[in-house]
């Protein structure tokens, strides 16, 4: 089974920007990313802006994002081969 990469909040934000998300707000160290689809559906993901995000937190982010993005695309970004 592939292992999760060690990623910072900045790394994760860059990954989600490739999927069309933009920063929509920040509260403390948590950054909210959002994207608006053509049918006016708003999708959002919250990312902690830490130097290294815990693996459990990364798994939760992946689970949250899998509602909007295919798991295969997410695995390519978050897991090492």
**pLDDT tens-digit readout, 27-51:** 999 999 999 988 888 999 999 999 9
- Measured distance CA(67)–CA(52) in Å, rounded: 24
The SS3 of residue 30 is strand
**pLDDT tens-digit readout, 58-78:** 999 999 999 999 989 999 999
pLDDT of residue 41: 86
pLDDT band at 1 (very low <50, low <70, confident <90, very high): low
| Cβ(29)–Cβ(12) below 8 Å | no
Question: Domain boundaries in the chain?
Answer: 3-80
Q: Look up the CATH superfamily of 3-80.
A: Hypothetical protein. (3.30.920.30)
- Measured distance CA(16)–CA(34) in Å, rounded: 9
In this prediction, residues 13-36 reach a mean pLDDT of 94
Compute how many other C-beta atoms are within 10 angstroms of the C-beta atom of residue 14.
Answer: 12
């Amino acid at each position: 089974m592939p292992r999760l990469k060690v990623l910072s909040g900045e790394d994760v934000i860059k990954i989600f920007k490739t999927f069309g998300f933009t920063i929509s707000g920040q509260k403390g160290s948590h950054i909210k990313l959002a994207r608006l689809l053509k049918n006016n559906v708003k999708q959002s993901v919250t990312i902690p802006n830490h130097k290294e995000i815990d693996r459990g937190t990364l798994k939760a982010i992946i689970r949250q994002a899998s509602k909007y993005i295919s798991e295969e695309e997410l695995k390519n970004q978050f897991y090492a081969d």
